[in-house]
Structure 1
Amino acid sequence: MIEIPSDLNPGLVPLAFLLGTWQGAGVAALDKFGGPDAEACNFGQEVTFSHDGRDFLEFSSRTWRLDADGKRLDPLETEHGYWRIKDRQLEVVMVRDQGVAEVWYGELAEGKPQIDLATDAVARTAVSPPYTGGKRLYGYVNGDLMWVGEKATPDVPLQAYMSAHLKKAVDPRLGAPPSPEGWGRVADIKDLPDDGIAFFR
């Protein structure tokens, strides 16, 4: 069941399904995009959507590599952003630790909690990796948050590069706190699809 906080800005009610902290694992096809450290891998992720009563959701995401046993390795990337919606039309401003700032536009599907986003503008610092734009698809499926991201560079056409299956985190005030290792150990990585698009079929 989707809970709507009493202090949520009325305009954000269509995005209430995103609120909270989500944790899980996914598949990254980073090897398609080159770079000295690029390799396909499983990754862990924690995503938080929060609000303070104003007309936007605050978004944060951090990801890290996982080994074959689901143990946390080195960080992958961190993102921060702000999501707004009006008449099912979304605008998102996002900054990534790789030296990239993006403006995304998209739409909330009619009658179901699914969001399609595509970049409208990309700004990069001199040290950021090659990147020209992307697309993302988010969906709320049976109480879980699933997403798939596509990416393009000057040399690689738009194609899927990351997808994840995230579950709502338990509020520590309502149950046992996370283990010292946090969510670095995920038991069902082998069951994740190679291609996150399958989540939405």
Structure 2
Amino acid sequence: MIEIPSDLHKDVVPLAFLLGTWEGAGVFDFPGTEKCNFGQEIVIRHDGRPFLEFRSRTWVLNEQGEKVRPLESEHAFWRITSNHDGTSGARGIEISSVRDDGTVEIWYGELADGKPQIDVSTDAVARIEGSPEYSGGKRLYGFVNGELLWVGEKAAPNVPLRPYMSAQLKKVLSPAQLVKDINDLPDDGIAFFK
């Protein structure tokens, strides 16, 4: 079930399925870098204005699933826009993001009509000196069976666009939600287990 907060700005209601803290794992694989499994935490929140704030942290995992070192961090703002191609049905999405490696991106795409799926591509990429070579990307996000799944594609001057990162994330319940759920248990608590 997708909850829509009462103070969520009306312009971003179609993105309500993204709200919350998500955690999980995925695979990272791009030429010139070491292939690895990674852990990820994504926090998507709102403050009543017409955008969502997106924060992602990833870290390399060892074979036992333990954190080894940071991989990437990203901070972005997601907005709903009118469609750039004038089509009806799907809604336009624009994202402005910055990564810890000094890359700044502008993404455009759309929210699928009738399902919680987002497809975006880079429109502009800027890099500071010393950041990895990168010329553009694509991402697909989907809310499937209560989980957030995503895949990212990346291109560099000598590498054509190809999948490089994907993850499966589960929503983390907040302590406030857990307390609310506990209040629904029978008074003695034991009846729950019978």
TM-score range, shorter chain: 0.7 to 0.9
| CA displacement, residues 122-157 of structure 1 (integer Å, 9 cap, x when unaligned) | 000011000000000000000000000000000000
CA shift, 1:69, in A, is 1.2
1:10–1:174 Cα change, 3 Å: closer
CA shift, 1:175, in A, is 4.2
Amino acid at match of 1:81: A
Could you say what secondary structure the match of 1:16 adopts? helix
Q: Of the two, which has the highest radius of gyration?
A: 2
Of residues 143, 149, 155, the one that matches 1:152 is: 155
Could you say what secondary structure the match of 2:170 adopts? strand
Q: CA RMSD in A?
A: 1.1
Gaps of 5+ in 1: 177-201
Larger RCO (CA under 8 A, 6+ residues apart): 1
Residue matched to 2:139? 136
Matched-pair identity in %: 64
Distance 1:18 1:157 in 2: 30
TM-score normalised over the length of structure 1: 0.83
Distance 2:141 2:17 in 1: 11
Q: How many residues align?
A: 171
TM-score normalised over the length of structure 2: 0.86
CA shift, 1:170, in A, is 1.7
Amino acid at match of 1:51: H
Distance 1:22 1:124 in 2: 28
Amino acid at match of 2:35: A
| CA displacement, residues 60-85 of structure 1 (integer Å, 9 cap, x when unaligned) | 00000001111111000100010000
Runs of 4+ in structure 1 displaced over 3 angstroms?
Answer: 173-176
Is 1:165 the equivalent of 2:180? no
Residue matched to 2:102? 99
Of residues 107, 111, 115, the one that matches 1:112 is: 115
Gaps of 5+ in 2: 83-90, 180-194
